[in-house]
Structure 1
Amino acid sequence: MSKTKTKRARRELKRDANRKIANHQKKLATAAKPTKPSTPASKKQKTTHESQSTGTAAPTPKPHIQASQKHEIPFDTYDNILLVGEGDFSFTRSLAVEHGCANVTATSFDSEEEVQKKYPSFSEIHKELTELMPPVPLHHSIDATKLGAYKVLRAGNSDRGGAWEGWDTVAFMFPHTGGLSTDVNRQARANQALLSSFFSQTLSAHKGRPFLRDGGKVLVALFEGEPYTLWNIRDLARHTGLKVVESYQFDWEDYPGYAHVRTLGAIEGGGAWKGEDRRARMYVFEKVGEKVVEQSKKGKKRARDESESDSDEG
């Protein structure tokens, strides 16, 4: 066995062990957690508002998710996973270390220098991810609206053997263009443009090689409520050509160590709301293979022809 393969095998064994330990601890914590009594409406605390300069509505408080309501984590251990638009890379760390995902590649829109400046937590996370054997690939200055233009992303994780067939999963956690405007509608249009271009890029191909494999998943996490509901993410995905599979309540506890960070960076001295205290949803989309699309078109044509034939006979 080559040195590279030996290192990879050791890394995967370590991640498998960490994942099993994390899952076991989670089960114990869930079993030991007492059921919280409902709080009377008169005693519910008022939710805090974001800064008025962002033009956003009040955050929706995060509810407790019962064990029976929990959704299976959509990241498989050996899937080729691409994370887009990472902030401090704490989500990357959670997948690679806590869940043992062996083929994670992560990107940020900001340069490495900008990430260091925006997020004080990045240095420690970067050290941990780069010390894994082999290290988790981190790429900076990557625009989510131009994914197909980057050769390093078209080739996938070179540490994985076999022919490249495209990414299995591409995820964009809490995308946002930042405070471009105080106008809610203008902000919504800017974020719709961001998501539409991102969806299109996942369906792109280069020299006959797809960016996302047929049947591959595109995942997007968004906060609930306005202004995020104004983005109409399901319609954006459908118009791009992706199949809408499902959406479900996002459980922050499923990803130990993950903390949401602002697009504009950390606020000096702390303050503001925390993403982990808000209700959010995970949206799941799927790339439908060309054969499936062609069969669907033929089926629709056949149904149309039969309908016209019945009309003529009448």
Structure 2
Amino acid sequence: MAAIESAMLGREERWIKHYSSAHSILLVGEGDFSFSLCLAMAFGSATNIVATTLDSYDLLIRKYKNAKTNVRDLEILGSALLYGVDATRMKIYSDLRYQKFHRIIYNFPHAGFHRKEDNPALINMHRSLVREFFRNARRMLMVDGEIHLNHKDTSPYNNWRIKDLASECGLFLVECPVFSIKDYPGYENKRGGGSRCDMPFKLGECKTFKFKLCLAAEKILEQRSTLDLIHKMPAECQAVLILEQHQAPLLDKLHSLGYDHVPQLVKQQTSKILISTECHMVFACYLNYVKETFGGGTSYALRQSVSEPLMTGFRTYICSVPDGTWRGYIGILEELRNLSILRSKMLRQMLANQVHADQHI
């Protein structure tokens, strides 16, 4: 306790290896929280640290003999500790969705001890874990921030092809210095699973893979995402879901990004109401309901309430729209209002036509 109180006295910027007390730091997949505590003790404070684990608190203190003490010390130093956080879905967690970080650190990711480490199926599981981590982490990174992944650099671990996975997610490798556990006093690497979960694993040759956002790649990924979304929409909605200010560049990019033709509906439906791809993403269930409501024949499905899609849409917006604001959400609601007016006019006309047809039977 005395060491903690002494550490908290200094408030000048302090460094330990690649990390500064001035950085906002997210730690992912922490074992017994000893790495987080190592940084906190070096900084003299943990107010800039958010440390997460997939385990619940109860499971954590059962698995690791030092976890309870480490957690207590981190709380005293001011760290935010989050339990039950999946590295492949962390962006959706309420305590993380609005935050951006200078450094996001994942020490020795591992998908579990299911087979021998050189088994291709297990390697694919590891790769999938890291890929989804990157996809989440890049959306939580400040523009000048870095994602650090500490990883073994020998066979079979080099078969994970960490650099390729990062590239898929719009990240590029800045540097790859040697990782030495001696640089982090107090840190104890843990197996994390099985009967020996509290035991260390052999490190061998390891490196700290440092990645940054590749802004050019980020734009391409966004364009691909937008185009893929358009192609998945109901046919009658495709063209009108392209933002007017983005329409020309998107169409110009179709061929270069692997699309061989421009959807004919883009040309055919330009006179219809314009709804953004963001609006469709947020209110997908509501917009897809257009097809059910105004389907062929006289089949009207009017049982679904409006309130449920609106609530679902709001939750989707909060979880999925990067840096979403109330103003942005209100803009999407305005788009939805315009579409609702159009839907109402169509429905009234359809009902009037049906009444007219019934009168002539």
TM-score (norm 2): 0.54
Q: 1:14 to 1:200 in 2, by over 3 A?
A: same
Task: Find the partner of 1:170 among 79, 104, 116.
Answer: 104
Amino acid at match of 1:14: L
> RMSD in angstroms over aligned alpha carbons?
3.1
Instruction: State the Cα distance separating 1:222 from its structure 2 match.
Output: 0.7
How far, CA to CA, are the matches of 1:258 and 1:266 in structure 2? 21
How far, CA to CA, are the matches of 1:106 and 1:84 in structure 2? 6
Task: Find the partner of 2:54 among 101, 109, 116.
Answer: 109
Task: Give the structure with the higher percent helix.
Answer: 2
How far, CA to CA, are the matches of 2:184 and 2:194 in structure 1? 21
How far, CA to CA, are the matches of 2:218 and 2:193 in structure 1? 41
Structure 2 partner of 1:286:
212
**Using CA pairs below 8 Å that are at least 6 residues apart, which structure has the higher relative contact order?**
1
Instruction: State the Cα distance separating 1:290 from its structure 2 match.
Output: 6.4
Amino acid at match of 1:188: I
Structure 1 partner of 2:73:
128
Structure 1 partner of 2:9:
14
Instruction: State the Cα distance separating 1:15 from its structure 2 match.
Output: 5.1
Matched, 1:148 2:91: yes
Q: Is the 8 A contact 1:82 1:171 kept in 2?
A: yes
Structure 2 partner of 1:227:
156
TM-score (norm 1): 0.62
Q: Is the 8 A contact 2:151 2:208 kept in 1?
A: yes
Structure 2 partner of 1:200:
135
Q: 1:149 to 1:15 in 2, by over 3 A?
A: farther
Amino acid at match of 2:52: T
Instruction: State the Cα distance separating 1:90 from its structure 2 match.
Output: 0.2
Structure 1 partner of 2:113:
179
Q: 1:191 to 1:151 in 2, by over 3 A?
A: same
Q: Is the 8 A contact 1:215 1:288 kept in 2?
A: no
* 1:258-303 Cα shifts (integer Å, max 9, x gaps): 01001206628x8x7644x632111000013469968xx99xx9xx
How far, CA to CA, are the matches of 1:129 and 1:146 in structure 2? 24
Instruction: State the Cα distance separating 1:99 from its structure 2 match.
Output: 3.7
* 1:174-209 Cα shifts (integer Å, max 9, x gaps): 1001112346111110000001001011233xxxxx
Amino acid at match of 1:73: K
How far, CA to CA, are the matches of 1:155 and 1:194 in structure 2? 23
* 1:135-157 Cα shifts (integer Å, max 9, x gaps): 2111010000001111201233x
Counterpart secondary structure, 1:260: coil
How far, CA to CA, are the matches of 1:259 and 1:266 in structure 2? 17
Q: 1:194 to 1:113 in 2, by over 3 A?
A: same
Identity between Structure 1 and Structure 2 (%) = 28
Q: 1:12 to 1:293 in 2, by over 3 A?
A: farther
Q: Is the 8 A contact 2:163 2:173 kept in 1?
A: yes
Amino acid at match of 2:108: F
Counterpart secondary structure, 1:152: coil
How far, CA to CA, are the matches of 1:243 and 1:199 in structure 2? 11
Larger radius of gyration: 2
Structure 1 partner of 2:124:
189
